[in-house]
Chains A and B, each alone.
Chain A
Amino acid sequence: MFNQNFLVFLGFFQDLIKYKNIYVYPIIVGVIIGCLAPLIGSVIVIRRLSFIADTLSHFSLAGVCFGVLLAHQLADTVFENTISPIALGIVFSVIGTLLIEKLRSFYKNYKELSMPIVMSFGAALSGIFIALSGDSSSNITSSLLFGSISIVELKDFIVILVMSLIIIIFIVIFYKKIITLCFDETFAKVSGINVKLLQLLITIILAVFISISMEIVGVLLISSLMIVPVASSILVGKSFKNTCIISVIFSEVSILLGIYFSYTLSVPTGSLIVIFNIVILLFIMIYRNLIKCFKKKNTKQLDYSITIDPNTINENVDEVTEINEEDKEIVKEENLENKE
């Protein structure tokens, strides 16, 4: 049993060396996406944009399918190798962003109506493009829906690298403004941040990111790729930076495990990545509950005369003056525990 596993493991690395571009590109792309996904995901979680992410991924899918169709039509011509489905996916998802904005202006009270419209429009177009390309093998469809590591080609690889660089530069330049906007829109507005423009830029960056991560994780799973690691990390994070770092670690672990097992088990990469992410989330939840139970038990054993909810104490540390000295010690201990 162990030997067999080991052989598979070895085989993976042998193939890695032998078919460099087939496996190295996806792994590099995976590592980049694994880092960017939770960073963008934090913004999505805070600004409650996950529905936009889903909408854009469906519209971006139409672009990718259009690319597949074009590539098919242009086969055996001079343009044969110029079409990058990912690049078209990026173009489409940016168009989708603008479309959502445009549609929103038509409705005062039903602004979110624009999302399902654009989403279904994208899905419908995708279906048509796939059918027209004549190559409607379930293979392509399944990799677009659930992701696959084997479809990253050199030209897509370059597009992904360039776009990731642009996203990173954007984050570095605007991170202060993004964080300020995320946490307090009113303050951002009056203090001099162009909220509308920044919001549009964030959405475009989101659209670009969705397109570049689509081939690896698939349309259906992109938003969970961004959100689940953040959902885990906010349960344990102490500061914003700390939370982001933890989410990147969770995300990278899931992506690398996902790629590896996708290779060995021939299961869609995106599915596995999301499953690993969710397993991590479960562990974190169990860990949190254990800590809570442990604390309760501890409190009981020492038989404090008063019961103190550590949460409320933490909020009012300054105001616990009425409690006598002995109880103050308890409060301090509890706080220390909390910090650990």
Chain B
Amino acid sequence: MRIKVNDLSFSYGQKTILNHLSFSINTGDFLTITGKNGSGKSTFIKCLLKLHKIPNGMIYMDDVDINEIKKYHNIGYVPQKAEFNYEFPITVKEILSTAYQQRTYDQFYKSIVSSLNLNKFYNENINNLSGGQLQRLFIARALLIKPRLLILDEPTVGIDQENVNNLYQILKQLKNEKITIILITHDQEFAKDLYDHLLHLDEDTNYTFTTIGDDKNV
């Protein structure tokens, strides 16, 4: 999915978070966004996903203004903090099988479940899961919709090393399949060899956008 950000500004009330942000990425590109806490990384994603309202002409997906898009298709989103309804009993299996719109339990489904090591607590109520286990569940759920665009907001937080490695392998595979990926991370080392673009946000609303390959050897 091509994404073009054209002079995007966003503020919460008086507080400006994003200021004249412009860049663009192509289908199959891997964009990593870094920056300190509160620099506006999650806010940018929320603008992109229309969870915050922005004026026309600021973000385009495949050359269409996002405000013109009636509904999004196949965007896999793993939020930093999922606004999930935890009170009602539901199991890992039930969340995954209802997110998956095809016939469940085929090869693809099984491979996702096992690649994130969800088998051990597959039939558990989600209230019994640890933070890292939940995070892996939400990553799996996003992968199950076969995303054209995958957005991961600090996915490695709370996950043990083994599963971070698994996630890296999954991202590598998805990149080979030309899936567009946006990764927000604090972990500068994570998936370092995968990204094509790096967007760094400052607290004082400055930013730098670099494309690897242009200056990888600088």
Contact = CB atoms under 8 A, between A and B. Distances in A.
Do these two chains really belong together in a complex? yes
Interface of B: 49-51, 71-77, 79, 82-85, 87-91, 93-95, 97-101, 123, 125, 127-130, 132-133, 141-142, 145, 147
Contacts of B145: 191-192
Interface residues of A, number: 35
Contact of A192 (B74, B90, B98): B74
Given A180-B98, A186-B51, A239 B130 contact: no
Contacts of A182: 85, 88
Contact of B101 (A176, A183, A185, A240): A176
Given A42-B88, A183-B90, A194-B71, 14 more contacts: A45-B88, A176-B99, A184-B82, A190-B72, A191-B72, A191-B75, A191-B76, A191-B145, A192-B145, A195-B71, A234-B88, A240-B88, A240-B94, A318-B133
A115 B100 CA distance: 35
A179 B85 contact: no
Contacts of B101: 176-177
Given A180-B99, A185-B83, A243 B89 contact: yes
Given A192-B145, A239-B89, A240-B88, A186 B83 contact: yes
Nearest to A233: B89
A46 B99 CA distance: 17
Contacts of A194: 71
A182 B94 CA distance: 13
B36 to A, nearest CB: 24
A192 B88 contact: no
B72 A192 contact: yes
Contact of B75 (A179, A183, A190, A242): A190
26 contacts: A46-B85, A176-B101, A179-B98, A180-B99, A182-B88, A184-B85, A186-B83, A189-B49, A189-B72, A190-B77, A191-B76, A191-B145, A193-B71, A239-B90, A239-B91, A239-B94, A239-B125, A240-B94, A243-B89, A314-B127, A314-B128, A316-B130, A317-B128, A317-B130, A318-B132, A319-B130
Contacts, number: 103
Contacts of B123: 239
B149 to A, nearest CB: 9
Nearest to A185: B83
Contacts of A184: 82-85
A72 B77 CA distance: 57
A237 interface: yes
A154 B60 CA distance: 58
Contacts of A195: 71
Interface string A167-207: 00000000111011011111101111111000000000000
B130 A240 contact: no
A238 interface: yes
A315 interface: yes
Nearest to B129: A315
Nearest to A194: B71
A199 to B, nearest CB: 13
Q: Which 4 A-B pairs have the closest CB atoms?
A: A237-B89, A190-B75, A240-B90, A179-B98
Contacts of B87: 234
Interface string A301-340: 0000000000000111111000000000000000000000
Contacts of B83: 184-186
B88 A46 contact: yes
Nearest to A178: B98
A195 B50 CA distance: 13
A187 B94 CA distance: 15
A241 interface: yes
A187 B141 contact: yes
A317 to B, nearest CB: 7
A108 to B, nearest CB: 12
B95 A183 contact: yes
Nearest to B51: A186
A14 B100 CA distance: 52
A191 B97 CA distance: 14
B128 A242 contact: no
Contacts of A46: 85, 88
Interface centre among A175, A192, A237, A238 (most CB of B within 10 A): A192
Contact of A190 (B49, B84, B98, B132): B49
A193 B72 CA distance: 8
Nearest to A318: B130
A130 to B, nearest CB: 39
A12 B84 CA distance: 48
B129 A191 contact: no
